[in-house]
Structure 1
Amino acid sequence: MTWRNTPDSFGLFTRVIHWTMALAIIGMLALGTRLANMQPGLSNLWLYSLHKSIGLILLTLVVIRLVWHRISPPPTPQGDPSAALQRLARATHWLIYALLVAIPLSGWIASSASGIDVMFFDRWVIPPVAPVSEAWENAGWAAHRILTKVLMAVILLHIAGALKRQIEGDGTLTRMWRGTR
């Protein structure tokens, strides 16, 4: 079992970071939905802190993933996907990466603009990235909400594409799970 991707298979590092991020994203979407529907209070501030901390971890993981993508390019597509499907898959992946950078940044901007410290697991203060400003805060939260909805749609497209390719027998999903067909 190799750490790096090969022309025919996903390496262990790629698969571990993919599934770790997938689980974290699902958890963040569930937690974020819950937070959006509750009133902030002393009894639930820890949930906001948890959401911010995991968001910062996801931001770090996507940067690591992008660097790794340059070091160890993904394998070539299996089967015979059309050029249009290959472009759609590539665009979907890059849109997911862009959203996974933009969403945590918009949350960080909004939190910074609120004047409330962004804490990493209630232990370390993360420097603010925006001035304290109601306009910045509102814009940051609006972007955070909208981009999250876009991410949900793009993830569904990503899952549908992976399932379609798996059903057609090219083994894409199996390769991401086990590394090889």
Structure 2
Amino acid sequence: MSIIDSPERYGSISRFFHWSIAALVLWQLVTATTTVLFEDSWLDKLTWATHKPVGLLILILMLGRVAWALLNQRRRPSSLNLPSHLGHLALYALLVVIPSIALMRQYGSGRAFAPFGIELMSGFDGDKIEWMMLPANLLHGWLGWALFAMALGHVLMAVHHRMNPRQQDVLPRMLDVSARK
């Protein structure tokens, strides 16, 4: 398997970004769902403690993924159509915007933030910075649920393309599976 992308399939670095981020987004769905269904339970406390650090990890991986996609822009498989291209752009945008506005809220709240034991924000005394908190207060949750819905649609479309003989099978681009005959 090649490290770089080709017109036929994504290379190992693109696959690493894709599947790592997919696993982390799935975990974020678990943490958010647990908070909604079992708020203040031991399970909520256990899973929610990972939500912010995992969000930061998603942002870091997404910035790498975007940079890698731009470097491989001319080599990677082309989009099937305009809706597919726009859907992927929307997924990329949400995966950058959602954790970015959460980080703004974290800073604006004045609370410390030390994901994985690394101090990123020491926190501060005094008034909160409301304008930094507002975007996430208004949008973080809604955009997160929209991301989960779009990710499910992404999976369903890939399965649809795999199962429908009139469609181009796109799974071999991202998995080590052979194309449908």
CA distance in 2, matches of 1:144, 1:176: 29
Following superposition, the deviation at residue 59 of structure 1 comes to 0.2
Q: Conserved in 1, the CA contact under 8 Å of 2:114 and 2:121?
A: no
1:176: which partner in 2? 174
Q: Report the count of equivalent residues.
A: 170
Unpaired runs of 5+ residues, structure 1, are: none
Instruction: Give the aligned residue type for 2:70.
Output: R
**Equivalent residue letter for 2:176:** R
Match of 1:90 in 2: 85
Counterpart amino acid of 1:159?
V
2:52 & 2:60 partners in 1: Cα distance? Answer: 12
Q: 1:48, 1:118 → 2: CA distance?
A: 14
User: Structure 2 unaligned runs (5+)?
Assistant: none
Matches within 5 A, 1:85-124: 86-121=81-116, 123-124=117-118
Q: Deviations over 1:91-148 (max 9, x none)?
A: 1101001101111112212222322212212x1222389x724564354233111111
Is the contact made by 1:56 and 1:104 (CA closer than 8 Å) also made in structure 2? yes
Residue by residue over 1:138-174, the C-alpha shift from the partner in whole angstroms, topping out at 9 and shown as x without a partner, is 5423311111121122112212221121112422113
TM-score by length of 1: 0.80
**Secondary structure of 2:114's aligned partner:** strand
Q: Is the 8 A contact 1:49 1:120 kept in 2?
A: no
1:140 aligns with 2:136: yes
Q: Structure 1 counterpart of 2:61, which letter?
A: L
Q: CA deviation at 1:40?
A: 9.3
Task: Output the CA distance in 2 between the equivalents of 1:175 and 1:120.
Answer: 34
What code does the residue aligned with 1:176 have? M
**In 2, distance between residues paired with 1:175 and 1:139?**
36
Asked whether 1:7 is paired with 2:7, we answer: yes
- Alignment correspondent of 1:60: 60
Amino acid at match of 2:119: V
**CA distance 1:7–1:141, change in 2 (3 Å):** same
* 2:4 and 2:10 in contact (8 A); partners too: yes
Structure 1 residue corresponding to 2:155, chosen from 144, 159, 167: 159
**Would you say the 8 A contact 2:9–2:172 is kept in 1?**
no
Q: Does 1:126 align with 2:120?
A: yes
